A and B are shown apart, each in its own frame.
Chain A
Amino acid sequence: MPTIVPWLIFLLPFASFLLIGLILRPFLNKWPRVAGYVTIGAVGLACALAFWVLFAVMGAPEHKLMVDDIQWAIIGNLNIHIGVLVDALTAVMVVVVTFVSLMVQIYSQGYMKGDPGYQRYYAFMSLFTACMLGLVLANNILFMFVFWEGVGLGSYLLIGFWFHKPSAANAAKKAFIVTRAGDFGFLAAILLLYASTGTFDTQTLYNLVATGALAGTTLTWVAIGIFAGAAGKSAQFPLHVWLPDAMEGPTPVSSLIHAATMVAAGVFLVARFYPLFQHSAEAMTTVAVIGAFTAIFAASMGLVMNDIKRVLAYSTISQLGYMMLGLGVGSVAIGIFHLFTHAFFKCLLFLGSGSVNHGTGTFDMRLMGGLRKAMPWTYATFVIGSLSLAGIWPLAGFWSKDQILVAAFANNPVLFTLAIVTVFMTAFYMFRAVFMTFHGEYKGGAVPEHGSHDEHSHGPHESPAVMVAPMVVLTVMAVCAGWFNVTGGFSQLLGSEAEGTNLVASFLGVFMHPLPLASLIVALLGIFLAYAMYLKKWISPEKIGNALKPIYTLLYRKYFMDELYENVFVKTILYNGIFKAMAMFDSSIVDGTVNGVANTTAGAGGVLRKIQNGQTQLYVISIAIGAIAIAICVYLFH
């Protein structure tokens, strides 16, 4: 494989961004569709190259390809290279990112049709994808940070895509600022790493950790700092608050953010620096505990949301918690495998919710219902995605979730309990969404928000083929993606030992172990409860809601986390505390110094200017006296 290939995977979407932003948008505005084709072409080509890289890595010794660096800058002793690191983790990630991105770009052709910002949308999507690919490919923590921030920028631009809506503009700012809190930890970790090792190179860091040169408290703090950055991007508790608000962006954007880019970046970061975590028990525990807690915490909020995208958003946070838990208690392979399967079914579910929105003009599930007949393709794909997410055998979600449960069970019973309860909740809220959206009677939908959907007055209808086709492809993946690891092939690629041997035997033999069976039963129970409450109405959801009013309110108001941040953190600590003190310092000390100097000068000038009275002869006297004074001085002191 030529060494240019991994570079091209990053450069193609980036070139697409530049092409759209600098040429297509200003000069070829008459044909906005071109922007979409350019992006799809670039991402499609990158996807093909990503598969090439994946197969090359699978065939390479130790699943690693050597690609030479390019020297970028020398500042004193600081020698910064740019280069790509192509190992199994990178290969898997580039395939996931480019594949999901490609599906989303194709889908967007239908969803964003007629939007006045069509070209801008595709330019930002290209940039977003390119930054994520850059992050995945970089072999250097400094460049990872650059692209990390690039991903943050992309998410900001895309969440705030409809910036004329105040809610979208605020959500974009919130996403950017909340993740910035985590980025602070990441940056601190980078600086600490550089201070203690003097290198940014990932491979060198691995070696230093392996030889024990980097260990102890420093290593723990570095790992915790990296995890803080990961928690911000991957929306882990307590930095999860931005993700549900990020639903203000266009749905394909949410799909991309939730499946392959942005939130996956955090999990990827932990996986990339996994050797650092492995050598610090405290850091591993932190990752596992935060992950498990986030999983159940977010799932509980997903139980009561009425907006289909918000249900999916909390589901994403919860599943990211699973991935962190998988990394914390298991291995890279377990966490990344869940990321891999989750990318497909979560992307599918978001595209499905976008399709529902396209058909009805609303995201509120209370206004939907009965869409099963009107939107058969969306219904079928959405149900399969939900089954996969709920972890039903033999779909993708089952296999990856099962591994996490097994690892958690072996590690700590408390973490396992949290995880298994989350399985129940996941199944429940997903099928609550399915039954509320697709079953029962159609409840009218809503007036479409953005202008292009005028035809919706005729009632719900199936989305165009350009939107359905990516969903069908993703459905296939949501079913099959788990099978890559049935015999442990995926884990082996990522450096774990293979367990099973025979595909069919492993396929059925998974139930020889009681845990997968237990998780399957728990998931089915969750689905059954949703069935009983929302389809058959044997149990009235309203009655339960009223009976458990305090809990319902607590969940519906998201544990008052937004209020907590808003009132305690932002208003009291930051606004009334630090910012006010800084404003005082600025206005009194900084401005005071500047104004004081200016006032003194002006005052002195006011006094001195009186001497300049226009009487030339007075000046002459002054000069004469001065000359005489100088002469006397020379005479006296010579």
Chain B
Amino acid sequence: MMFSVGLDHYLILSAILFCIGLVGVITQRNVIKLIMCLEIMLNAVNITLIAFSQYITPTLLTGQIFAIFVMVVAAAEVAVGIAIVFSIYRSRESVDMENFNILKW
């Protein structure tokens, strides 16, 4: 039996990646690692978008275009996020999430 790759496989892959990313975001204490996990979550979503685009609306490129947009936004977000991390690091000399708790009542 020929093993063929279908939509389900992509979605399962995407879900696994998303969960890995989510767990990382929740558990990592290092901000840089946290941002990397965030990127994994975004890419999991990208996979979903492209898979749907390929299997459900093959004539339209909406999902693929959307994935490119997500990448662009992610790049911008990383740039800003790293800049914030740098500036916090300068004042607190730490990249530990536990110290990033000043935005509260």
Contact = CB atoms under 8 A, between A and B. Distances in A.
Given A616-B97, A617-B97, A609 B105 contact: yes
Contact of B26 (A609, A613, A614, A617): A617
Contacts of B97: 615-617
Nearest to B34: A617
A624 B22 contact: yes
Interface residues of B, number: 12
A621 interface: yes
Interface in A571-627: 609-610, 612-617, 620-621, 624
A614 B104 contact: yes
A615 B27 CA distance: 12
A477 to B, nearest CB: 84
Interface residues of A, number: 11
Contact of B25 (A612, A614, A620): A620
B101 A615 contact: yes
B2 interface: no
A624 B103 CA distance: 20
Contacts of B102: 614
Interface in B40-91: none
Contacts of A615: 97-98, 101
A614 B22 contact: no
Contacts of B27: 617
A617 B98 CA distance: 9
Nearest to A627: B22
Nearest to A610: B105
Interface in B1-34: 22, 25-27
Contact of A617 (B25, B104, B105): B25
A612 B101 CA distance: 10
A620 B26 contact: yes
Nearest to A624: B22
A624 B25 CA distance: 11
Contacts of A617: 25-27, 97
B26 A616 contact: no
Nearest to B31: A616
Contact of A621 (B26, B98, B100, B101): B26
A613 B104 contact: yes
Interface in A386-407: none
Contacts of B26: 617, 620-621, 624
A141 to B, nearest CB: 63
A610 B26 CA distance: 20
Contacts of A610: 105
A610 B97 CA distance: 19
Interface in A365-415: none
Contacts of B100: 614, 616
Interface in A251-281: none
A613 B98 CA distance: 11
Interface string A150-182: 000000000000000000000000000000000
Given A616-B100, A616-B101, A620-B22, 7 more contacts: A614-B100, A614-B101, A614-B103, A617-B27, A621-B26, A624-B22, A624-B26
21 contacts: A609-B105, A610-B105, A612-B104, A612-B105, A613-B101, A613-B104, A614-B100, A614-B102, A614-B103, A614-B104, A615-B98, A615-B101, A616-B100, A616-B101, A617-B25, A617-B26, A617-B97, A620-B26, A621-B26, A624-B22, A624-B26
